[in-house]
A and B are shown apart, each in its own frame.
Chain A
């Protein structure tokens, strides 16, 4: 709409708002073709340089709202009412070409799942190059240089190396940083971040937030920050919207909401945040009397990626750095050890080696007095049964095309040869132990909530009656309130079955809750190890201190972010 046609008052009044959302309602069609509102009558304004947090549990409509801000609507849903104006232009009335240009240059979004925003068979560097070439018209050389700058700007270690990696060759945190780099590439006036740091460890998260903050200041950029983690809004946002079931329940400055939450819901959100410094961090994962022989013993474990298998590897030999370097630790029966460290520190790699997805470059791993150095395919059925892993993203670890029944039946059939009635009874039993109902058996993973999905994944792992469970960031993809529930159930079933557990997390608060001992990893090397209590109370290593400081940011007013920026990770 040409500005000249607007009445003068409207012009002066409205032009002030960079983003103006008025009475926005978005709805979905359900199975019966009825419209179910997902976002209900939401209004807010955002000026240049302002930051708005949108907080709520999953399913509260915050992601739907974020998409609507981009003028995008999933198939099967529709924007029922209201308007979204950017610089006073109603984007809901734009055609797709205008929207494309708008999304490129005015508004950008960092989506929640880095898995879905990167193309799998293209190296990550060229993917960012492409954005620059298309939107900024750069040639390939300067695009590459710019990409490398963006990469180092998002604190990616060794941008040159990352540039030539495929998405599956970098860690989850690195992936998300690449995605953020891609979003920043467009130099948008408004940036929408939809749970961008959920999968990141605390230090990286802080770096990213710091970076976003800096960029916002530098270019007077407006931010919309969507998260389930109230603590983050405290750090990054000035104002916050608390959403429940599609409606805004509370609205105001962050400081005010933290101090005097007005609704019960906001109070609940704030209270369910696990804290590193909280007193009631229970240790119900008790340490039993140690066996003479440890269940798992890892000695001098080293690992690096090789470009094995490719025809071209023969022509282009390339020494990769060690991802895991000289790590040793023991695990007693029924004990829980926490592996902490930021992304890229090698903690997931260790889990993958133990379960047999990767084979160690050198070192010894003994499980119940037998060597398990070989990769998974060569292990015996019994060994495979005894070591189970639970992954971070339940949506990825459950085949989206199988019903829960099929998924649960596989381990029962393979490990115990259970079929039919017996198998079903066992499945129901497993579901009940996870506080799920038999009704869920006939569902597909996508028909369940994130927490339910993860509980299925846990049930699936315990179906094998394992002796060792590897929990790889099992709670990081979950909302705070759901996280607590899942942890509780996990603890319960672990106590009941006496399974040993390697608990991997970047969330020190969670680790403190569950682990007897903790191992802090930095760049593949053990930085510190010891009983959780001791490590948390008196960290000896500088890195551990930094981690703890970052994790407890919300209570300590000055955050040592400037220090973190210097760390070469």
Chain B
């Protein structure tokens, strides 16, 4: 609603600035990291389990001699991509359904909200894990399952925001003009829930990144030999007594990304005057 500049929003508070900084670093390395890494992500470049600081391998090598720096830099790409795409699908589709439920109301709304309740009563990670086991472990499956998993929560929040708009007179005016339901939903209501959609997207992306990492850790997410932090933690667990950095590095990167996203989102929500303190399912 406000006309604040993007920069104002991004530097809302020190926490926000830190968050935005962390996210920016992660996004840059995910997007352009491949230009700077010294080896290929699956290239067997050296001796296995070199400690960090070894010549040619500043962060050492993993258990089969792949450069760990390379894999760390590229290890966020896939999960960030899957999480962002999945959540984007979730938020856009959930947004449209939520706004339509708020506007159309009645039986349609009741049915949708009960379905949402049912979905929200299933633990997310369990749902995703079961789907991945059932439909295979590919990136498209993972993306769609993430989308389905995060849609109901986003739907509910966006619907409640739309509910505050539906009684307003401009919606009545549109109805009286004879605008179709679709036109009211898309033209009139959707622009007014945009901020919630953006914040929902940001909040749920961080949660989805964690979920994808957790799935990879459980052997249900991204498949080896693709570098992925969750998977790298899993691979490193076996060596944790002897080569703890194998776990610590990817875990640190997951944490910085998720913390960064949460800080940034929190600031974003505050700056937009939305309540980000709600719990996530």
Contact = CB atoms under 8 A, between A and B. Distances in A.
Q: A–B direct touch, CB within 8 Å, in complex?
A: yes
Contact of A376 (B107, B176, B194): B176
B175 A377 contact: yes
A344 B160 CA distance: 27
Contacts of B168: 115, 396-397
A256 interface: no
A121 B163 contact: yes
A312 B191 CA distance: 31
Nearest to B190: A401
A357 B271 contact: no
Given A121-B163, A414-B177, A402 B4 contact: no
Nearest to A402: B191
Interface in B84-134: 105-107, 110
Interface in A367-381: 376-377, 379, 381
Contacts of B271: 75
Contacts of B192: 399-401
Contacts of B179: 410, 414
Contact of B177 (A384, A393, A399, A402): A384
Question: Which label, helix, strand, loop or mixed, suits the secondary structure of the B interface?
Answer: helix
B54 interface: no
A529 to B, nearest CB: 27
Contacts of B170: 396-399
A120 B163 contact: yes
B273 interface: yes
B273 A310 contact: no
A168 B175 contact: no
Interface string A397-419: 11111100000001100110000
Interface string A112-136: 0001000011000000000000000
A21 B170 CA distance: 40
Interface in B1-33: 1-4, 8
Contacts of A393: 169
B35 to A, nearest CB: 36
B235 interface: no
Contacts of A399: 170, 188, 191-192
Given A357-B175, A414-B177, A76 B107 contact: no
B191 A414 contact: no
A357 B176 contact: yes
B164 interface: yes
Contacts of A402: 188, 191
A159 interface: no
A232 interface: no
Contacts of B110: 310-312
Contact of B2 (A75, A310, A379, A415): A75
A526 interface: no
A396 B4 contact: no
Interface residues on B, range: 20 to 34
A401 B178 contact: no
A31 B191 CA distance: 23
B105 A309 contact: yes
Contacts of A357: 172, 175-176
A356 interface: yes
Interface residues of A, number: 38
Given A311-B107, A402-B191, A391 B172 contact: yes
Nearest to A375: B175
A460 interface: yes
B255 interface: no
B113 to A, nearest CB: 10
B138 interface: no
B107 A410 contact: no
A446 interface: yes
Interface string A293-325: 000000000000000111110000000000000
Given A121-B163, A311-B110, A377-B175, A396 B169 contact: yes
B173 interface: yes
Contacts of A397: 168-170, 172-173
Contacts of A311: 107, 110
Contact of A309 (B8, B107, B163): B107
Interface in A383-442: 384, 388-389, 391-393, 396-402, 410-411, 414-415
Contact of B178 (A384, A388, A391): A384
A548 interface: no
B115 to A, nearest CB: 13
15 contacts: A115-B168, A120-B160, A121-B160, A311-B107, A356-B176, A376-B176, A384-B176, A391-B172, A393-B169, A397-B172, A399-B191, A401-B192, A410-B179, A414-B178, A446-B1
Interface of A: 31, 75-76, 115, 120-121, 168, 308-312, 355-357, 376-377, 379, 381, 384, 388-389, 391-393, 396-402, 410-411, 414-415, 446, 460
Given A391-B169, A397-B172, A402-B188, 16 more contacts: A76-B2, A76-B4, A308-B106, A309-B106, A309-B107, A311-B110, A381-B178, A384-B178, A392-B169, A393-B169, A396-B168, A396-B169, A399-B188, A414-B177, A414-B178, A460-B173
